[in-house]
Chains A and B, each alone.
Chain A
Amino acid sequence: MIRFEQVSKTYPGGQQALRQVNFHIAPGEMAFLTGHSGAGKSTLLKLISIMERPTVGRVMINGHDLNRIRRQQIPFIRRDIGMIFQSHQLLMDKSVFDNVALPLIIEGYSHKEVSKRVSAVLDRVGLSDKSRCLPIALSGGEQQRVGIARAVVNKPPLLLADEPTGNLDPKLSLEIIRLFEDFNQAGVAVLIATHDLGLIARMKYRTLTLKKGQMITDGLTEDWPGDDDESAI
Protein backbone atom coordinates (compact mmCIF):
# COMPACT_ATOMS: atom_id res chain seq x y z
CA MET A 1 0.00 0.00 0.00
CA ILE A 2 2.70 2.48 1.07
CA ARG A 3 6.30 1.92 0.05
CA PHE A 4 9.30 4.17 0.79
CA GLU A 5 12.44 3.50 -1.25
CA GLN A 6 15.63 5.22 -0.07
CA VAL A 7 13.71 8.35 0.79
CA SER A 8 15.60 11.39 2.07
CA LYS A 9 14.15 14.80 2.73
CA THR A 10 16.19 17.93 3.24
CA TYR A 11 14.26 21.13 3.92
CA PRO A 12 15.28 24.31 2.09
CA GLY A 13 17.01 25.57 5.25
CA GLY A 14 19.37 22.56 5.09
CA GLN A 15 17.60 20.64 7.86
CA GLN A 16 17.76 16.94 7.02
CA ALA A 17 14.44 15.53 8.23
CA LEU A 18 14.62 12.02 6.73
CA ARG A 19 17.62 9.89 5.73
CA GLN A 20 17.33 6.94 3.38
CA VAL A 21 14.11 5.62 4.80
CA ASN A 22 12.81 2.25 3.53
CA PHE A 23 9.65 0.48 4.58
CA HIS A 24 6.47 -1.03 3.28
CA ILE A 25 2.99 -1.10 4.74
CA ALA A 26 0.60 -3.70 3.34
CA PRO A 27 -3.01 -2.98 2.34
CA GLY A 28 -5.26 -3.17 5.38
CA GLU A 29 -2.31 -3.04 7.80
CA MET A 30 -2.27 -0.84 10.91
CA ALA A 31 1.06 0.56 12.10
CA PHE A 32 2.48 3.18 14.46
CA LEU A 33 5.21 5.62 13.60
CA THR A 34 7.15 6.88 16.59
CA GLY A 35 10.28 8.73 17.62
CA HIS A 36 11.20 11.79 19.61
CA SER A 37 9.99 15.24 18.66
CA GLY A 38 11.77 16.40 15.53
CA ALA A 39 12.62 12.86 14.41
CA GLY A 40 10.78 13.31 11.12
CA LYS A 41 7.38 11.69 11.75
CA SER A 42 5.31 14.55 10.40
CA THR A 43 7.65 14.91 7.45
CA LEU A 44 7.18 11.25 6.59
CA LEU A 45 3.39 11.61 6.62
CA LYS A 46 3.59 14.80 4.55
CA LEU A 47 5.51 12.94 1.87
CA ILE A 48 2.63 10.47 1.61
CA SER A 49 -0.02 13.20 1.27
CA ILE A 50 2.28 15.20 -1.07
CA MET A 51 2.39 18.21 1.21
CA GLU A 52 6.15 17.84 0.76
CA ARG A 53 8.21 16.16 -1.96
CA PRO A 54 11.18 13.88 -1.24
CA THR A 55 14.63 15.27 -2.01
CA VAL A 56 15.85 11.80 -2.98
CA GLY A 57 14.09 8.45 -3.35
CA ARG A 58 10.60 7.30 -4.19
CA VAL A 59 7.34 7.20 -2.28
CA MET A 60 4.81 4.78 -3.75
CA ILE A 61 1.14 4.32 -2.99
CA ASN A 62 -0.44 1.18 -4.40
CA GLY A 63 2.44 0.93 -6.89
CA HIS A 64 2.13 4.53 -8.13
CA ASP A 65 5.22 6.68 -7.86
CA LEU A 66 4.18 9.96 -6.22
CA ASN A 67 7.05 11.77 -7.93
CA ARG A 68 5.08 11.35 -11.14
CA ILE A 69 1.98 13.04 -9.72
CA ARG A 70 1.53 16.53 -11.13
CA ARG A 71 0.37 19.48 -9.07
CA GLN A 72 -3.13 19.45 -10.57
CA GLN A 73 -3.54 15.78 -9.61
CA ILE A 74 -2.71 16.25 -5.94
CA PRO A 75 -6.31 16.99 -4.85
CA PHE A 76 -7.40 13.66 -6.30
CA ILE A 77 -4.64 11.83 -4.41
CA ARG A 78 -5.79 13.46 -1.18
CA ARG A 79 -9.30 12.16 -1.75
CA ASP A 80 -7.88 8.65 -1.37
CA ILE A 81 -6.15 9.49 1.90
CA GLY A 82 -7.97 10.33 5.12
CA MET A 83 -5.84 12.69 7.18
CA ILE A 84 -6.12 13.46 10.88
CA PHE A 85 -4.14 16.15 12.66
CA GLN A 86 -3.32 16.97 16.25
CA SER A 87 -4.74 20.46 15.69
CA HIS A 88 -7.92 18.96 14.17
CA GLN A 89 -7.94 21.47 11.26
CA LEU A 90 -11.67 22.00 11.58
CA LEU A 91 -13.56 25.01 10.23
CA MET A 92 -14.54 26.76 13.43
CA ASP A 93 -17.41 28.77 11.94
CA LYS A 94 -19.09 25.73 10.39
CA SER A 95 -21.21 23.12 12.16
CA VAL A 96 -19.98 19.61 12.85
CA PHE A 97 -22.19 18.39 10.03
CA ASP A 98 -20.76 20.88 7.52
CA ASN A 99 -17.21 20.03 8.55
CA VAL A 100 -17.73 16.34 8.01
CA ALA A 101 -19.65 16.95 4.76
CA LEU A 102 -16.84 19.01 3.21
CA PRO A 103 -14.99 16.17 1.41
CA LEU A 104 -18.26 14.89 -0.04
CA ILE A 105 -19.32 18.33 -1.26
CA ILE A 106 -15.91 18.79 -2.86
CA GLU A 107 -16.37 15.48 -4.65
CA GLY A 108 -19.80 16.53 -5.88
CA TYR A 109 -22.08 14.17 -4.03
CA SER A 110 -25.81 14.89 -4.13
CA HIS A 111 -27.46 16.57 -1.18
CA LYS A 112 -29.27 13.41 -0.18
CA GLU A 113 -26.17 11.25 -0.35
CA VAL A 114 -24.21 13.77 1.73
CA SER A 115 -26.82 13.74 4.52
CA LYS A 116 -26.96 9.97 4.54
CA ARG A 117 -23.22 9.45 4.72
CA VAL A 118 -22.52 12.19 7.23
CA SER A 119 -25.23 10.89 9.58
CA ALA A 120 -23.83 7.40 9.28
CA VAL A 121 -20.27 8.40 10.06
CA LEU A 122 -21.24 10.71 12.94
CA ASP A 123 -23.17 7.81 14.38
CA ARG A 124 -20.07 5.66 14.09
CA VAL A 125 -17.86 8.10 16.02
CA GLY A 126 -20.62 8.70 18.58
CA LEU A 127 -21.46 12.30 17.72
CA SER A 128 -24.97 11.96 16.25
CA ASP A 129 -26.42 14.37 18.78
CA LYS A 130 -23.76 17.05 18.10
CA SER A 131 -24.20 17.40 14.38
CA ARG A 132 -25.59 20.96 14.60
CA CYS A 133 -22.97 22.15 17.12
CA LEU A 134 -20.02 24.36 16.29
CA PRO A 135 -16.66 22.65 16.96
CA ILE A 136 -15.88 25.26 19.60
CA ALA A 137 -18.70 23.86 21.75
CA LEU A 138 -17.09 20.40 21.80
CA SER A 139 -14.44 18.88 24.07
CA GLY A 140 -10.97 18.07 22.73
CA GLY A 141 -11.80 14.40 22.33
CA GLU A 142 -15.02 15.18 20.52
CA GLN A 143 -13.26 17.61 18.19
CA GLN A 144 -10.76 14.92 17.34
CA ARG A 145 -13.61 12.54 16.54
CA VAL A 146 -15.09 15.15 14.19
CA GLY A 147 -11.70 15.21 12.45
CA ILE A 148 -11.74 11.43 12.19
CA ALA A 149 -15.30 11.42 10.87
CA ARG A 150 -14.27 13.89 8.16
CA ALA A 151 -11.25 11.75 7.27
CA VAL A 152 -13.27 8.56 6.78
CA VAL A 153 -16.54 9.94 5.40
CA ASN A 154 -15.58 9.21 1.79
CA LYS A 155 -14.25 5.76 2.74
CA PRO A 156 -10.60 6.17 1.73
CA PRO A 157 -8.44 3.02 1.61
CA LEU A 158 -5.74 4.75 3.66
CA LEU A 159 -5.78 6.74 6.92
CA LEU A 160 -2.89 8.89 8.15
CA ALA A 161 -2.95 10.39 11.64
CA ASP A 162 -0.36 12.84 12.98
CA GLU A 163 -0.38 12.88 16.80
CA PRO A 164 -4.13 12.27 16.94
CA THR A 165 -4.05 11.85 20.72
CA GLY A 166 -1.61 14.68 21.37
CA ASN A 167 -3.89 16.75 23.59
CA LEU A 168 -5.94 13.96 25.14
CA ASP A 169 -5.71 12.11 28.44
CA PRO A 170 -4.88 8.36 28.34
CA LYS A 171 -8.49 7.19 28.53
CA LEU A 172 -9.65 9.40 25.65
CA SER A 173 -6.51 8.50 23.70
CA LEU A 174 -7.36 4.84 23.97
CA GLU A 175 -10.90 5.52 22.74
CA ILE A 176 -9.51 7.27 19.69
CA ILE A 177 -7.15 4.40 18.96
CA ARG A 178 -10.03 1.93 19.32
CA LEU A 179 -11.85 3.95 16.69
CA PHE A 180 -8.89 3.55 14.35
CA GLU A 181 -8.91 -0.19 15.07
CA ASP A 182 -12.56 -0.29 14.01
CA PHE A 183 -11.78 1.28 10.68
CA ASN A 184 -8.75 -0.95 10.27
CA GLN A 185 -10.92 -3.99 10.80
CA ALA A 186 -13.11 -2.70 7.97
CA GLY A 187 -10.06 -2.99 5.69
CA VAL A 188 -8.55 0.49 5.85
CA ALA A 189 -4.76 0.79 6.12
CA VAL A 190 -3.86 3.02 9.07
CA LEU A 191 -0.58 4.77 9.89
CA ILE A 192 -0.49 6.69 13.17
CA ALA A 193 2.40 8.98 14.11
CA THR A 194 2.72 9.49 17.85
CA HIS A 195 5.34 10.01 20.51
CA ASP A 196 2.97 8.62 23.14
CA LEU A 197 4.98 5.47 23.85
CA GLY A 198 2.76 4.43 26.73
CA LEU A 199 -0.13 4.18 24.35
CA ILE A 200 1.78 2.05 21.86
CA ALA A 201 3.13 -0.25 24.56
CA ARG A 202 -0.38 -1.44 25.33
CA MET A 203 -1.03 -2.60 21.75
CA LYS A 204 0.35 -5.29 19.57
CA TYR A 205 0.93 -3.41 16.38
CA ARG A 206 3.85 -2.98 14.07
CA THR A 207 5.86 0.08 15.11
CA LEU A 208 8.27 2.05 12.96
CA THR A 209 10.73 4.14 14.94
CA LEU A 210 12.55 7.17 13.60
CA LYS A 211 15.58 8.74 15.17
CA LYS A 212 17.01 11.92 13.70
CA GLY A 213 15.43 11.03 10.39
CA GLN A 214 16.62 7.43 10.24
CA MET A 215 14.45 4.35 10.61
CA ILE A 216 16.00 2.54 13.54
CA THR A 217 13.46 -0.15 14.37
CA ASP A 218 10.63 -1.74 12.46
CA GLY A 219 8.76 -4.51 14.21
CA LEU A 220 5.93 -5.65 16.39
CA THR A 221 5.41 -3.94 19.72
CA GLU A 222 6.27 -7.22 21.42
CA ASP A 223 9.85 -7.11 20.11
CA TRP A 224 10.14 -3.45 20.84
CA PRO A 225 12.22 -2.26 23.82
CA GLY A 226 9.28 -0.61 25.58
CA ASP A 227 8.58 2.23 27.95
CA ASP A 228 11.75 2.19 30.02
CA ASP A 229 13.85 2.81 26.94
CA GLU A 230 12.13 6.08 26.12
CA SER A 231 15.19 8.18 26.95
CA ALA A 232 17.31 6.21 24.50
CA ILE A 233 15.21 7.05 21.47
Chain B
Amino acid sequence: MQDLYHQQLLEAAENKKNFGELADFDGEATSYNASCGDTVSIRIKLTSNGKQIESVGWTGTGCIISQAAMGQLSDYVVGKQVSDIMAMGAGEILELLALSKIAPGRLRCLLLGLTTIKKILQEKNT
Protein backbone atom coordinates (compact mmCIF):
# COMPACT_ATOMS: atom_id res chain seq x y z
CA MET B 1 0.00 0.00 0.00
CA GLN B 2 2.86 2.34 0.80
CA ASP B 3 3.97 1.63 -2.78
CA LEU B 4 0.85 3.32 -4.09
CA TYR B 5 0.41 6.05 -1.51
CA HIS B 6 4.07 7.00 -1.25
CA GLN B 7 5.15 10.24 0.36
CA GLN B 8 5.71 12.12 -2.88
CA LEU B 9 2.21 11.30 -4.09
CA LEU B 10 0.58 12.35 -0.84
CA GLU B 11 2.48 15.63 -1.01
CA ALA B 12 1.52 16.19 -4.63
CA ALA B 13 -2.14 15.79 -3.70
CA GLU B 14 -1.68 18.07 -0.72
CA ASN B 15 0.12 20.91 -2.51
CA LYS B 16 -1.84 21.02 -5.72
CA LYS B 17 0.29 22.80 -8.29
CA ASN B 18 -1.41 25.49 -10.38
CA PHE B 19 -4.59 25.22 -8.32
CA GLY B 20 -6.87 28.17 -8.98
CA GLU B 21 -8.74 29.79 -11.83
CA LEU B 22 -6.97 31.54 -14.70
CA ALA B 23 -8.50 34.91 -15.53
CA ASP B 24 -6.93 35.03 -18.97
CA PHE B 25 -7.38 31.82 -20.97
CA ASP B 26 -8.01 30.38 -24.43
CA GLY B 27 -9.98 27.26 -23.59
CA GLU B 28 -11.67 25.54 -20.68
CA ALA B 29 -13.46 22.32 -19.77
CA THR B 30 -14.85 20.45 -16.81
CA SER B 31 -14.87 16.68 -16.49
CA TYR B 32 -16.40 14.24 -14.04
CA ASN B 33 -15.35 10.78 -13.17
CA ALA B 34 -18.85 9.42 -13.02
CA SER B 35 -17.90 6.33 -11.06
CA CYS B 36 -16.43 8.11 -8.07
CA GLY B 37 -17.33 11.76 -8.04
CA ASP B 38 -13.93 13.21 -8.97
CA THR B 39 -14.12 16.44 -10.87
CA VAL B 40 -11.65 18.85 -12.47
CA SER B 41 -12.20 22.18 -14.18
CA ILE B 42 -9.26 23.34 -16.25
CA ARG B 43 -8.40 26.55 -18.06
CA ILE B 44 -5.52 26.79 -20.50
CA LYS B 45 -3.68 29.74 -22.00
CA LEU B 46 -1.73 29.07 -25.19
CA THR B 47 1.27 30.93 -26.60
CA SER B 48 0.49 33.44 -29.34
CA ASN B 49 1.20 30.95 -32.14
CA GLY B 50 -1.22 28.50 -30.46
CA LYS B 51 1.37 25.68 -30.52
CA GLN B 52 2.49 25.63 -26.89
CA ILE B 53 0.88 25.82 -23.50
CA GLU B 54 1.68 29.02 -21.68
CA SER B 55 -0.19 28.47 -18.44
CA VAL B 56 -2.73 26.20 -16.77
CA GLY B 57 -5.08 26.74 -13.86
CA TRP B 58 -7.45 24.18 -12.39
CA THR B 59 -9.89 23.51 -9.59
CA GLY B 60 -11.54 20.30 -8.49
CA THR B 61 -12.09 17.69 -5.84
CA GLY B 62 -11.51 13.99 -5.77
CA CYS B 63 -9.32 11.13 -4.71
CA ILE B 64 -5.62 11.43 -4.17
CA ILE B 65 -4.75 9.80 -7.48
CA SER B 66 -6.87 12.19 -9.54
CA GLN B 67 -5.76 15.27 -7.65
CA ALA B 68 -2.04 14.41 -7.54
CA ALA B 69 -2.09 13.46 -11.23
CA MET B 70 -3.77 16.72 -12.17
CA GLY B 71 -1.35 18.78 -10.08
CA GLN B 72 1.78 17.15 -11.49
CA LEU B 73 0.43 17.20 -15.02
CA SER B 74 -0.50 20.88 -14.84
CA ASP B 75 3.12 21.62 -14.03
CA TYR B 76 4.56 19.31 -16.64
CA VAL B 77 2.57 20.62 -19.61
CA VAL B 78 3.57 24.26 -19.25
CA GLY B 79 5.93 25.11 -22.12
CA LYS B 80 5.26 21.82 -23.91
CA GLN B 81 4.12 21.49 -27.51
CA VAL B 82 0.40 20.82 -27.95
CA SER B 83 1.24 17.91 -30.26
CA ASP B 84 3.41 16.29 -27.58
CA ILE B 85 0.64 16.54 -25.01
CA MET B 86 -1.84 15.00 -27.42
CA ALA B 87 0.49 12.00 -27.66
CA MET B 88 0.63 11.42 -23.88
CA GLY B 89 -0.97 8.42 -22.21
CA ALA B 90 -1.27 6.60 -18.90
CA GLY B 91 2.43 5.64 -18.96
CA GLU B 92 3.58 9.25 -18.80
CA ILE B 93 1.19 10.11 -15.98
CA LEU B 94 2.38 7.12 -13.94
CA GLU B 95 5.93 8.38 -14.46
CA LEU B 96 4.99 11.87 -13.26
CA LEU B 97 3.63 10.27 -10.08
CA ALA B 98 6.56 7.88 -9.70
CA LEU B 99 4.21 4.90 -9.86
CA SER B 100 4.97 1.67 -11.67
CA LYS B 101 1.36 0.57 -12.16
CA ILE B 102 -2.24 1.32 -11.32
CA ALA B 103 -5.27 -0.93 -10.79
CA PRO B 104 -7.79 -0.89 -13.67
CA GLY B 105 -10.39 0.58 -11.34
CA ARG B 106 -8.22 3.65 -10.78
CA LEU B 107 -7.26 4.30 -14.38
CA ARG B 108 -10.02 6.84 -14.87
CA CYS B 109 -8.87 8.74 -11.77
CA LEU B 110 -5.34 8.77 -13.15
CA LEU B 111 -6.40 10.02 -16.58
CA LEU B 112 -9.10 12.52 -15.63
CA GLY B 113 -6.78 15.54 -15.92
CA LEU B 114 -5.08 14.42 -19.11
CA THR B 115 -8.32 13.66 -20.95
CA THR B 116 -9.70 17.04 -19.95
CA ILE B 117 -6.61 18.88 -21.17
CA LYS B 118 -6.75 16.95 -24.43
CA LYS B 119 -10.41 17.84 -24.80
CA ILE B 120 -9.59 21.54 -24.49
CA LEU B 121 -6.69 21.33 -26.95
CA GLN B 122 -8.76 19.40 -29.44
CA GLU B 123 -11.53 21.97 -29.33
CA LYS B 124 -8.98 24.74 -29.90
CA ASN B 125 -7.64 22.88 -32.91
CA THR B 126 -10.94 22.35 -34.68
Partners in one complex: no
